[in-house]
Amino acid sequence: MRKISAGLFMALDGVVEAPDQWHFPYYNDQMGAAVSASLGSADTMLFGRVTYNGFAGAWPEREAAGGEDAAFAKSLGDVRKIVVSRSPLEFTWRNSEQLRGDFTEAVTALKNEPGGDIGLSGSVSLVRQLLAAGLLDELNLFVHPIAVRKGLRLFDEGTPPIPLALLSSQAFTTGVMHLVYGPAGTGGTAGYDDVKSHLAQD
């Protein structure tokens, strides 16, 4: 079964909206390598409509310009891109298509197809749906040492708890933490009486 991996830039207060307005001062070679590694084995990418429009409005032009980011732009153009939207869409960026049918059923079928990993970059609403459906295998959070103090957060209020297991962590020299989480099953039922023996003793 194919793995679904999502990556999000996150502020210290949980904000994931408009990272282009606050995360670039923290972007360095370490983060570039980690971002590339998290998407490197993906031959398919899932997008929400807004995120896709942002990518499609920038990366084809960067590929055509032939600058230092042209190779990465070409890799984005070459992968299969599947866009989730309730409205009919038309595409000009190559290898783009629209997801058809029920979201959970369609993504489950996609995971069962032969191929490489399935990646997401941004697309917060899709990440939420995948987490809720238990379909997300790996969540890459790049937590920046800044409190943005306004904007959309990954985990909204009112949803049931979503237990996660920390798979790996790495600190960058900029202060960014790269945290990789996977599913953890149930969160357990421990209370204070179960853990008080772990308090420091004199």
How do the pLDDT tens digits run along the chain, 202 residues long? 999 999 999 999 999 999 999 999 999 999 999 998 887 789 999 999 999 999 999 999 999 999 999 998 999 999 999 999 999 999 999 999 999 999 999 999 999 999 999 999 989 999 999 999 999 999 999 999 999 999 999 998 877 889 999 999 999 999 999 999 999 976 667 887 878 788 887 6
Instruction: Determine the Cα angle at 60 with ends 58 and 65, to 5°.
Output: 95
Instruction: Write out the residue range of the structural domain in which residue 62 sits.
Output: 4-198
Residue with the two structure tokens 């959070």? 141
pLDDT in the model for residue 190? 80
Neighbouring CB atoms inside 10 A of 31's CB total 20
Q: What's the CATH number where 99 sits?
A: 3.40.430.10
pLDDT in the model for residue 185? 72
- Under DSSP, the state recorded for 161 is P
Structure tokens at 76: 């984005």
* Total structural domains within the chain: 1
pLDDT in the model for residue 38? 82
Smallest Cα–Cα separation from 134: which of 182, 66, 194?
Answer: 182
Q: Which residues contact residue 9 at a Cβ distance below 8 angstroms, ignoring those fewer than 6 apart?
A: 16, 19, 23, 142, 144
Q: Which residues contact residue 84 at a Cβ distance below 8 angstroms, ignoring those fewer than 6 apart?
A: 46, 47, 48, 49, 98, 99, 103, 123, 126
